[in-house]
Amino acid sequence: FKPLLARLYSLIPILNNDMRFDKRYKKALPCTGVSCLCVTRNRVEMLKRAIECFNKQTYKQRELIIMVPADDVATLQYKETILQDNIFWYIDDPKLTLGERRNLSVENAHLSHVMIWDDDDWYSNYRIQIAVMELMARNAAVVFADRSIIYNNNTGTFSISTNRGMREGTMIAQKSLLAKYPPWPRASDTEMVRQMMEYTKPYLSDLLNEHYIRIYHGSNVWDENHFNILMHIHGRPHIP
């Protein structure tokens, strides 16, 4: 814990969003803000948690882009209760695939960098702050957590990836460098990252691991077997 604190204190200019970096960071990519991209459908209760996580973020220059299909009546009704100038709602065609909807979310982002903010996952209060810190300290265009944590809501167990890798949900990236998502109903994010890696070199950060938890709840795009293949069962956490 103390080494982490020492590292954080050494990066106070970045943590405060101060663009006047000292000489160690003069080559860092400029980050004027982070657009969090949320593509949702019929998950109002989960979306409420995602918005709560967004509202608790310590990083100030942020916005939340929410894509809602036109036939999702419950979410559209909930939308009317959210009056924030940093949350932007966009209504899309229910016939669009997940990949197509993700492309629209990127197109609607206003800030220099983007981050996936799925409606069914959990994010610590420092998720954006730490991601930006690593992005700029490493002079990187793209940063991923080097491992992923999954919580299985049905069994009360969590899983941690057994190998280092680029997990799409942990990504922060310069918007202008994102590849297009293919128009697929699933795995479009994996393919987008594969294409982007042809012309960018990501940094894999161990500091990001604990600030994002992917949640399996039974109605995910992928089934439970898919999550079990990716991960190694390891224990029982508590999701705040």
- Does residue 98 surpass a pLDDT of 70? yes
pLDDT of residue 1 exceeding 50, the answer is no
The rounded percent of the chain whose pLDDT value lies above 90 is 55
Q: What's the pLDDT band for 59 if we cut at 50, 70, 90? A: very high
Residue 238 has pLDDT above 60, yes or no: no
pLDDT single digits (tens) 29-44: 689 999 999 999 999 9
Residue 111 has pLDDT above 90, yes or no: yes
Per-residue H/E/C for the chain: CHHHHHHHHHCHHHHCCCCCCCHHHCCCCCCCCEEEEEECCCCHHHHHHHHHHHHCCCCCCEEEEEEEECCCHHHHHHHCCCCCCCEEEEEECCCCCHHHHHHHHHHCCCCCEEEECCCCCEECCCHHHHHHHHHHHCCCCEEEECCCEEEECCCCEEEEECCCCCCHHHCEEEHHHCCCCCCCCCCHHHHHHHHHCCCCCCEEECCCHHHEEEEECCCCCCCHHHHHHHEEEEECCCCC
The amino acid at 182: P
Report the pLDDT averaged over residues 23-30: 44
- CA neighbor of 123 nearest in space, from 52, 205, 61: 52
The rounded mean pLDDT for the chain is: 81
Average pLDDT over residues 16-41: 64
What is the pLDDT at residue 4? Answer: 45
Which tokens in the block code for residue 93? 């065609």
**pLDDT at res. 155:** 76
Cβ atoms of 8 and 75 within 8 Å: the answer is: no
As a whole number, mean pLDDT of residues 113-117 equals 96
How much is the average pLDDT of 202-208?
A: 92
Q: What is the dihedral of CA 74, 60, 12, 211, to 10 degrees?
A: 0
Q: Which two tokens stand for residue 222?
A: 């992928």
Asked whether residue 216 carries a pLDDT value surpassing 50, the answer given is yes
pTM: 0.80
Mean pLDDT, residues 212-222 taken together: 67
| pLDDT of residue 117 exceeding 80 | yes
